[in-house]
Amino acid sequence: MAVGLEHFLILSAVLFAIGLYGVLAKRNAVVILMSIEIMLTAVNITMVAFSRYSHVISGQVFVIFIMVVAAAEAAVGLALIIAIYRSRKTVDAEKFDLMKW
Amino acid sequence: MMGLDIAFWVLAVVSVGAALAVVLMRDIFRAALFLVLCFFTVAGIYITLSADFLAGAQVLIYVGAIGVLIIFAIMLTRESRRGSPSGRLRLPALLIGLLFLVTMVFVVVSTDWHVIAELPTEPTTTAIAQALFSGEDGFVLAFEIAAALLLAAIIGAIVLVREK
């Protein structure tokens, strides 16, 4: 069976589901950010696959913008984690309760 | 086309295995290294999709920038000896992930995709540049906003981690 659009979409769904599990289940904030990056990458695969199989280059342009936002998100997210670690001495997401009531 | 198929299966298996290692590994430093491997294989998948420019950008941005950033964050937070434990939501998370996966696979398999068959593979860099900067329906404004977003993110990150 030749590899087609469906294979790329299912691969992307598998990666997204793994990332989703990581975001919901993990307690270390850095691992949660890593899982978010996996989810963004999975969405990028979908975009590129659709772009390839429908001859519309806009999909790849959108992937560039997603990469920009992912880089910005990683920089700010990791800076936040380091700032919280300095004041609370932990990166456990279940112990982040500054904005909880 | 046979070579591309084999490449796809190898890359797909390695990327899924690396992603699983990221969420299941006890040692977060190794998890970060597996994340880098996952990004590399995704760059390979872009090549099998004949997206050459994006494959290069993937290696530069994800492997180069984000990978190093995450490893730096792991070293600065020094929590590696506590590992990467799962929280109370482990079982619901597994359930939601599986539910999402089953739904997506069902939708993908049962939809009749409108695929344009057999296309020539050509360099995409020029096409992407034309789509980005062409006057009529280009993305010039979005491009400028992305630049401003990156600047704001860099300044924000510096302000957040600066010593008081």
State pLDDT tens for residues B47-105.
999 889 999 999 999 999 999 999 998 888 876 566 677 777 888 999 999 999 999 99
Report the mean per-residue pLDDT for chain B.
88
Question: Do B93 and A93 lie within an 8 Å CB cutoff?
Answer: no
Say what the pTM is: 0.91
Handedness of CA B53, B55, B60, B62 (dihedral sign): positive
Phi-psi region of A2 (alpha: psi -120 to 50; beta: other; left: phi over 0): beta
* Contact yes or no for B149 and A69 at CB 8 A: yes
CA B57 vs CA A16, A55, B2, B44, B75: distances in Å: 20, 20, 26, 12, 26
Which residues of chain B neighbour A89 with C-beta distances below 8 Å? none
Do the domain assignments include residue A24? yes
- Subunit contact B70:A51, Cβ cutoff 8 A: no
A65 found inside a domain: yes
Write down the domain spans for chain B.
1-84, 122-164
Collect all residues of chain B within an 8 Å Cβ-Cβ radius of residue A78: 69-70, 72-73, 157
Q: Is residue A99 part of a domain?
A: no
* Sign of the four-CA dihedral B113, B114, B115, B117: positive
> Average pLDDT for residues A78-97, to the nearest whole number?
84
**Does A17 score more than 80 pLDDT?**
yes
Q: Looking at the domain assignment, is residue A14 inside a domain? A: yes
Number of domains forming the structure of chain A: 1
Q: What is the CATH number of the domain that holds A10?
A: 1.10.287.3510
Please check whether residue A100 is in contact with residue B96, taking contact to mean a CB–CB distance below 8 angstroms. no
A101 falls within a domain? no
Whether CATH 3.30.70.20 fits B1-84: no
| Nearest chain A Cα distance for residue B51, angstroms | 7
Candidates A22, A61, A81; nearest CB to B22: A22
Residue A26 φ then ψ, to 5°: -85, 155
Decide which of B134 and B103 is more confident.
B103
Pull the structure tokens for residue B134.
Answer: 């062409």
Task: List the domain range (segments joined by +) for residue A74.
Answer: 5-90
Distances (CA, A) of B68 to A74, A75, B27, B65: 11, 11, 17, 5
Round to whole Å and give the CA distance between A8 and B57. Answer: 19
Q: What is the mean pLDDT of residues A14-20?
A: 96
Q: How many CB pairs under 8 A join A and B?
A: 241
Q: What is the pLDDT of residues A67-78, one digit of tens each?
A: 999 999 999 999
